[in-house]
Amino acid sequence: MQSDLQIWQLVWQASWTVKIVMLILLAASVSSWVIIFRKRQMLAAAKKGADDFEERFWSGTDLTRLYESISRNNAGNSGMERVFEAGFREFSRMREQGRMTAGILLEAAQRAMRIALARETDRLEQHLSYLATVGSTSPYIGLFGTVWGIMISFHQLANVNQATIAMVAPGISEALIATAMGLFAAIPAVIAYNRYSNQVERLEMRYDNFTEELASILQRQALSLADA
C-alpha cells in the first residue's frame, strides 16, 4: 500500500511535461485495450461465421435457396456469406438478362466477389494500424518523458553547492515511470497486433479460396446454361 502511495506521489510531483507524456500513454493504453477486446470478439465471430457457412455451403444445399436465405438475414451475415451473396446476386442478375456468354457471367460474378472481398478485408484490418502505431511509438514517447524528467532533475542541481544522490533520486524515479508506462502501453499492443494480423491473414486466405471455389461452381452452371 505504501509502495502504491509512493508511485502516485511521484506521478503527482512530476513536471507538467512528464505528466502530459503519462496522460498520452495512459490514453493510448486504454484505447488499445478497447480495440484489443473488440477485435478479439469480431475475429472470433468472423471465424465462427465462416465455419458455419462453409458447412452449409458444402452440405449439398441448392445455391439459389442458400442465397435467398442469406438475403433475408442480411444484417447478421458473416464475411464469407456477404462474398457469396455479392457473387451469386450478380451472377443471377446477369443470367436473367439473357444472351450472356459463360465468360461474361463468370467475369461479372468474380468482379462482384472481388469488391465484396476487398470490403471484408478492410473491415477485418480496421484499427490494426492503430495497435501497430501504439506498439512502435509508446516506448519512445515514454523515453522522451524520462529524458525530460532527468534533464530537469540535473538542471535543479545547478543551484546546489553539494549534490547528493538523494537530491536527484526522486526526480529520476518520476521520470522512469514514464518509460514504464510506455512499455506497459506498447507490449500488449504489439502482441495483439501480431496475433490479430495472423488471424486476419488466415481469414482473408479462406475468403479468397472460397471465391475461387465458388467461381468454379458458377462457371459450370454458366457452361450448362450455354449448352442448354
Looking at residue 179, what is its pLDDT?
Answer: 86
Q: How confident is the model at residue 72 (pLDDT cuts 50, 70, 90)?
A: confident
The percent of residues above 70 in pLDDT, for the chain, comes to 82
Question: Which stretch of 70-74, 82-86, 182-186 has the lowest confidence by average pLDDT?
Answer: 70-74
* Three-class DSSP labels, the chain: CHHHHHHHHHHHHCCHHHHHHHHHHHHHHHHHHHHHHHHHHHHHHHHHHHHHHHHHHCCCCCHHHHHHHHHHCHHHCCHHHHHHHHHHHHHHHHHHHCCCCHHHHHHHHHHHHHHHHHHHHHHHHCCHHHHHHHHHHHHHHHHHHHHHHHHHHHHHHHHCCCCCHHHHHHHHHHHHHHHHHHHHHHHHHHHHHHHHHHHHHHHHHHHHHHHHHHHHHHHHHHHHHHHC
Looking at residue 4, what is its pLDDT?
Answer: 47
Q: How confident is the model at residue 1 (pLDDT cuts 50, 70, 90)?
A: very low
Q: Is the pLDDT of residue 226 over 60?
A: no
**pLDDT per position as a tens digit, 108-167:** 899 999 999 999 999 999 999 999 999 999 999 988 888 877 777 777 666 666 656 555
- pLDDT (average), residues 60-68: 86
- pLDDT (average), residues 65-82: 82
- pLDDT (average), residues 92-96: 85
Mean pLDDT over each residue of the chain, to the nearest integer: 83
- pLDDT (average), residues 163-181: 70
Q: Is 133 exposed, middle or buried (0-12, 13-18, 19+ CB in 10 A)?
A: middle
Looking at residue 157, what is its pLDDT?
Answer: 67
Q: Is the pLDDT of residue 20 over 70?
A: yes
**pLDDT per position as a tens digit, 21-53:** 888 999 999 999 999 999 999 999 999 999 999
Looking at residue 43, what is its pLDDT?
Answer: 94
